[in-house]
Chains A and B, each alone.
Chain A
């Protein structure tokens, strides 16, 4: 089998060797010719003239005004409808928040004592996997109390606990409908793609218009962002239910409903739960951004502290968000892996319901304790720990001692790399880029792919912000290159042993959930406002997927192929470069793809540092309440990401097929 695979890939390579180098060469050559002849080209071929620009922004604004002001069916406006639907969320939100932190003053019922929350979290972890997970969950919750973040984090937790089920349910039913109705799938999948790559800030003004501002709007924003992964995984899960299982269902005489709820859904349990896990992580990633439209809790606290230069305290809130993410991630993963179990009905109550019994014990115990001492209901302020002075000291120390040596690096980067590269990017004619992208698409995926990706580029060119788009592209290109140069070796190193791989995963998880706003301040302190600071912030964040996918790809190279290599006497270097690397490469390319997506996300956030790209224009749209502009520019960013995504995915799929990995 392994020999066959190797042989196949080798022969495939040989057959297309000529083709595989000449075609890319031709594409690049055409691009270069257009690029270098730029001075000779007519002006309209370099940048789309203003009078040709398509008024996408005006159209979008007209649509929004229509939805906002004009009656539907003569009864109410679309805006009234979205607002009343959004109103529904206040009920569950008030309930969960009341339980966790606010209490119910109307009926004189206090919130759960912190001890009870800690205990119940512990039992949940224990029941889902083992006592270790229970300890992690209990410890995570206790952290919030001990470090004085109790109220803020419970408000955030309540928002997540409400947003995640709602987003999961909407995503689930969207996915189901897509599986049942092909026309719906054809419409919804591209929409999901765009939604997932649209910068979050583009949504904020439409949300302010159609939902309002406040905690509720923040929760709704969170829900909207969290829907796509669930819908995607539902489609994937339901489609992958084996026919055998469905046939067994038919033979047992299932009705359509039974077939769905008792056969399809249980069989697709794993991907569905992975979807829920993704939803939860997405909700936590939104904590800070949702604060821009009024979400309370850790996110708002973090922004406020950053704004008043209290970096240590902001970091503390950031760490609380990470803690919450780790606990919720682990719990929902454990739920994914847990198989349904059965117990004998004849067993004793305690044996049949150990977790229920323990929960009752915790509830009763904590209430009794709270009546004895208030320490059990609210963690006393005077015992609160703070790590803020430590973080502040660390930041001071780094800016003091590392600043000077880093300046040489900063100046060199700026003068010899960034400024020249930026100048080159700014000269790219749109026709050259269009040709490059269209031809690449054609080679990799035929006319259809070529048409899609050229459509993306045309949209960006005709939206009227070509120069700014090129600056965004330049920052992303430089950052992604740096990420690959650093992340690939790190990934290779980390893939060597199980231990290192686990460590790399832990770092990736932590950095990914760490609110990216936090990076902004230290990079400014070290590199000053400018491209170096912005690009450093992007690199820190976008490095995660390339490391993750490299480790994953290298560790998942089929064992038998590696063994075949060992048997034929490969050295370790040969094993890596001739066997593992080529086989893992399609996976690594997907990592690069994700890196591009992460970089595009961060490049918008980097506008807080000060950039001259699309991100800055999106913020300006925020200032002028120009929802149309925000959305259209957001689409430009999304289409950049989707162009890269489509091309890389097509390449990676073809490559995997060639290597016999699929």
Chain B
């Protein structure tokens, strides 16, 4: 259950367009998943609307964002418009390797996942966003069970973020506590924000939460692929993971393996769909800040970005 947010549906859009009237495309319904975060839902609706314009039938199926990869592998769901490297990379790459799901394209939007703090923490811990500064005031983030060390709230362990390894490699004065779900992260952030309590937690962008709370990522030494495997790389010569997370994680579109055969025109469009970080942010903002229903938000985005999506459909 994760949440990724904002990137939207690009992919889907295309799909529809194509699936319409062309002889080669099947008339079967294309099933688009709906997860439990707003940008993805808006995206799915953008896709759906374009499809309907071209006469194809689409169906929105609500589904868990992890289970969806099994479903896509089985052909019960036909595309996924937001495949986040950080959250779903493992599940996605597994089904791609098995051959039942195809990697249909990559958005321009870049994702970043990193330690993050709300803005008011800057006053409590001067010198941020540097990681050395954070480490120097680790005790400000301490709670009873971690004192005198600070508490870092990490994402669910199955996101495999290697926070514990990093703490070790940099010899940080922090204990990693793993939340069980994204909702748990936000609940703690919301509570801390209300009381202006120091907190440092795992977060990512694009994400609806940045529309609600201001904050920044902690800056660790830049990522390098060698940092993961080669202990001698970086400041700590004996341990790997002495670097930050990649700043440009991918946001992909995945489809069921039969998609290109069944809806070839749709697939051609789908491969062109491409959202930027701004697109994703706007789509999320329409629902989360402006309070629109996902469907209305989809209409609005389509109206404002006509030239963009028309180009994809050519």
Contacts and interface: CB of A to CB of B under 8 A. Distances in A.
Contact of B188 (A304, A524, A606): A524
Contacts of A525: 187-188, 190-191
A292 B67 contact: yes
B21 interface: no
Most buried by A among B41, B70, B156: B70
Interface residues of B, number: 53
Interface stretch (B30-38, B162-170, B299-307): B30-38
B62 A291 contact: yes
A627 to B, nearest CB: 8
Given A308-B208, A524-B184, A414 B67 contact: no
A384 to B, nearest CB: 13
Nearest to A291: B62
B66 interface: yes
* Secondary structure call for the A interface: helix
Interface string A398-415: 011001000000110011
A622 interface: yes
Nearest to B284: A308
A534 to B, nearest CB: 8
B74 A524 contact: no
Contacts of B33: 213
Interface stretch (B12-20, B118-126, B175-183): B175-183
Interface stretch (A203-211, A258-266, A491-499, A543-551): A203-211
A209 B181 contact: no
A479 interface: no
A521 B188 CA distance: 8
Contact of B180 (A215, A308, A616, A625): A616
Contacts of A208: 67, 70-71, 74, 76
A609 B178 CA distance: 9
B97 interface: no
B184 A610 contact: yes
Contacts of B63: 213-214, 292-294
B229 interface: no
Given A396-B194, A529-B177, A308 B61 contact: no
Contacts, number: 163
A430 interface: no
A295 B61 CA distance: 8
B194 A414 contact: no
B38 A403 contact: no
Most buried by A among B1, B94, B180: B180
Nearest to B71: A213
Contacts of B46: none
Interface of B: 1, 3, 31, 33-34, 36-38, 41, 61-64, 66-71, 73-74, 76-77, 90-91, 94-95, 143-145, 153, 156-158, 177-184, 186-188, 190-191, 194-195, 208-209, 212, 288
Interface of A: 204-205, 208-209, 212-215, 217, 291-296, 300, 303-304, 306-309, 396, 399-400, 403, 410-411, 414-415, 419, 520-522, 524-526, 528-530, 606-612, 616, 619-620, 622-625
